[in-house]
Amino acid sequence: MNSLTYNLKQALQQIFRNKGMSVASIFAITAMMLILGLFFVLTVNVNLFTEMVKADYDQIEVFLEDSTSKAEAQEIMDQVAVHEHVEDVEYRSKKDALKIMKKRWGENSYLLDTLGENPLPNSLLITIDNLESAEDVTSYLGEFKGIEDIKYYKETVEKLTMVTDFLQIACLIIMAFLVIVSVVVVSNTIKLTVMARAKEISIMKYIGATNWFIRGPFFAEGVILGIFSSLVSAGITFAVYSKVVGAIGTQVMTILSSPLVPAGYMAGNLICIFLAMGISIGACGSIISMRRFLDT
């Protein structure tokens, strides 16, 4: 029936009666979620960057000597195309290469206009089935004449993946610690209200209240503290991140040729993650704080 309203009413009453501790635990959870938010934002961006790089570089770039004619290039292409790991071969002329570069540089592309003669070579873009076979294909290419240089990014991508993995693991470990701390803080806050109502709880037990009926208001108290903290920290993280994207987003784009994840796109995930964590921290904290009072 109206047991939800009953629990909420009791919980809010408890929170306001214990203002000091309630604020303290909100601060603690918020602080830990902000740190978590920082790691989350970092990880998401590094992930995006890695994906971008991977998508760009499941290709091998073969730069041709300027003396290599179109016909010779075609011959190389035909032979490369039959290799088992090669999915596609594309010819890119000097002109096309410059166009693409201009496009990528965006509003800074005017810098390229001062180049005079196009310094970019003609090239072949070989799309391979996956990066693992890059070495295989490269050694096969070594047999052809008219090739100036071969570029592929296996190592770069591997390093990037390592960084992402490391960030994710670090994030998990730090998060685990912070979650434990938050749970302890919340459970202490709630323990205060539990003790203030110890007599009431013992009477409730004698009358035949179920453990969940007794727990209800304290459970709600924990969850409310958790939800409130997660909203605050999601708000702060979002605000700060949008500022950061606004301030250095374009520079990052130029330097790393990869965009930052847009703040709006991040917001939804951020709020879901924070809410889930806040609610579970609050719930765990309240259940732990009540354990001693309910084990009959």
* Footprint on this chain of other proteins (rule: CB under 8 A): 1, 3, 6, 199-200, 202-211, 213, 296
For residue 55, the minimal CB distance to other proteins (Å) is: 55
Q: Which two tokens stand for residue 65?
A: 């000597």
Residue type at 38 in one-letter notation:
L
Indicate the residue among 13 and 118 with the shorter CB distance to other proteins: 13
The pair phi, psi for residue 143, each rounded to 5°, is -80, -15
DSSP string, 148-214: EEEE--HHHHHHHHHHHHHHHHHHHHHHHHHHHHHHHHHHHHHHHHHHHTHHHHHHHHHHT--HHHH
Determine how β-strand 86-92 pairs with β-strand 147-151.
unpaired
Q: Which two tokens stand for residue 223?
A: 């969850």
Q: How many CB atoms lie within 10 A of CB 262?
A: 12
Rounded to whole angstroms, how far apart are CA atoms 132 and 135? 7
For residue 262, the minimal CB distance to other proteins (Å) is: 49
Indicate the residue among 67 and 296 with the shorter CB distance to other proteins: 296
Indicate the residue among 6 and 105 with the shorter CB distance to other proteins: 6
For residue 7, the minimal CB distance to other proteins (Å) is: 12
Rounded to whole angstroms, how far apart are CA atoms 227 and 204? 28
Q: Which two tokens stand for residue 263?
A: 């703040």
Indicate the residue among 110 and 206 with the shorter CB distance to other proteins: 206
Gyration radius of the chain over CA positions: 30
Q: How many CB atoms lie within 10 A of CB 184?
A: 16
Indicate the residue among 20 and 208 with the shorter CB distance to other proteins: 208
For residue 17, the minimal CB distance to other proteins (Å) is: 11
Indicate the residue among 1 and 111 with the shorter CB distance to other proteins: 1
Residue whose C-alpha is closest to residue 56's, from 5, 125, 112, 105: 125
For residue 211, the minimal CB distance to other proteins (Å) is: 8
Alpha-carbon distances, residue 115 vs 107, 109, 286 (angstroms):
16, 11, 67
For residue 35, the minimal CB distance to other proteins (Å) is: 40
For residue 199, the minimal CB distance to other proteins (Å) is: 7
Indicate the residue among 63 and 293 with the shorter CB distance to other proteins: 293
